[in-house]
Amino acid sequence: MNNAHQMYALSADQIVDAIKSQLHMDEDDKNTTVVEGDIGSGKSSILTTLDAQLPNHKAIYFDCTTKADAGDLMMPKFKDLEGNDYVTFATNEELGVHIKDQPLIIMIDEVGKNKSLQNPLNRLFQERMIGMNKLHPDTLVFATTNLGSEGVGDMFMPHTCNRVTFVRMRKPNNMEWIEWGINNDIDHSLLGWCKDNPHLFASFEDVKDPDENPYIFHPKQFRRSFFTPRSGHKASNWLKQRHLFDEQTLTATLIGTIGDRAAMDLMAFVKMSDQLPSRDSIKEDPKTAKVPDSAAAICMVVYRTLATMEADYINPWMEYLPRLDNEAQGMFANGVRSAKYARDKQSMVMGNKKFTDWARANSHLFTADQK
């Protein structure tokens, strides 16, 4: 990975915008973007985002790691044409070429791990054709691959490279992932832990000695389990079920998901989060409900509130909020104003009189720019 490519690494949202810009190009001018990024950094989420933003398109996922060779892309078949036999090609249904009346969003996942598929895919990348099938003119095509420097087998042939645009996707930082997590039911104790540990989201390319950051993947030191945005999501799934098993079982599942060092650190946060004031206690008596002593615990209360906000909780919460320090109040205010906060929750809170009165009196707590 050269320094310029790393310097101009883009966020997932920026890459989504670049891919969508192809809709404004002529059919023959559309480019195929190959998204390069760290293991577990959320490259596949680009398809989910595009699917949500382009409701008239059909999302297609094609996984190159489950394919052996070109025969998994197209197979020859006989065709009778006016009494003569011809050979044509039947295309794998997974690619969606049978969908004629709707534009597609085709994601070719892990394309760098299967060199044998790159040749037959070149026409898709360059001409938006699969075999003899011409795709809808508004179809978008992009691919994903891991960084070559990770040493997990991603390679490209020069003539394929010359048909695509490589874009480096940076890992989200901790606050970006927290913002996503609030809207995607990520456990609040995990979000609080991530706020205090931004190094969880570092790239191995920024770490010369793997011992400097024992939490993340590093090609120079084998770690079976490590923290990524993907494994963090899986850790959240375990945390949300912790009432069903004992502490030893929870610790074991976390070790096997995010690694031993991360798991032991996270468990300390989990124990603290289980001592937080309940939502019911705040709702029933916001003036006397417990206020946590530590900044980390207060942070978890705010994240929990943003993620689980309901109409009948806003008024008691707005009575409880001024009892927290200014940093926590600002965290809540800017979380509500964020462009990524769930629209239904945002309109519900911002339309509440107690919130608007509080916001008017505490405008100094809002940051200037919420993107």
pLDDT tens column, 120-173: 899 999 989 887 788 899 999 999 999 888 887 788 999 999 999 999 999 999
Q: Are 61 and 34 part of one and the same domain? A: yes
d(CA 65, CA 357): 55
Q: How far apart are CA 332 and CA 306, in angstroms?
A: 7
Tens of pLDDT, residues 194-226:
999 999 999 998 888 889 999 999 998 999 999
Do the beta carbons of residue 226 and residue 217 sit within 8 Å? yes
Same domain, 345 and 210: yes
Domain annotation covers residue 346: yes
Residues 220 and 128 in one domain: no
Structure tokens given for 69: 């060779």
100 and 137: one domain?
yes
Residues 121 and 78 in one domain: yes
How many domains, the chain? 2
Structural domain including 359 reads: 174-365
Domain boundary among 137, 169, 201: 169
Q: Identify whether residues 115 and 224 lie together within a single domain.
A: no
**pLDDT tens digits, one per residue of 87-123:** 877 888 888 888 888 999 999 999 999 888 898 899 9
State the pLDDT at residue 30: 92
CATH code where residue 79 lies: 3.40.50.300
pLDDT at residue 243 greater than cutoff 70: yes
Record the pTM: 0.84
- Look at phi and psi of residue 121 and say left if phi exceeds 0, alpha if psi is from -120 to 50, else beta: alpha
Whether residue 158 is found in the same domain as residue 179: no
What is the residue-wise DSSP string for 149-178? Answer: GG-SS----HHHHTTSEEEEEPPP-HHHHH
> To which residue do tokens 């490519």 refer?
5
Domain contains 246 = yes
327 and 307 share a domain? yes
- pLDDT of 256 > 80? The answer is yes
User: Using one digit for the tens of pLDDT, what is the confidence trace for 41-94?
Assistant: 999 999 999 999 999 999 999 999 988 888 888 887 777 777 777 787 788 888
330 and 290 part of one domain? yes
Is 371 inside a domain boundary?
Answer: no
Of 169, 187, 205, which marks where a domain is finished?
169
Q: Per-residue confidence at 351, pLDDT binned at 50, 70, 90?
A: very high
Assigned domain for 370 exists = no
Tokens of 217: 């993947």
- Tell whether 159 and 200 lie within a shared domain: no
Other C-beta atoms within 10 Å of 354: how many? 15
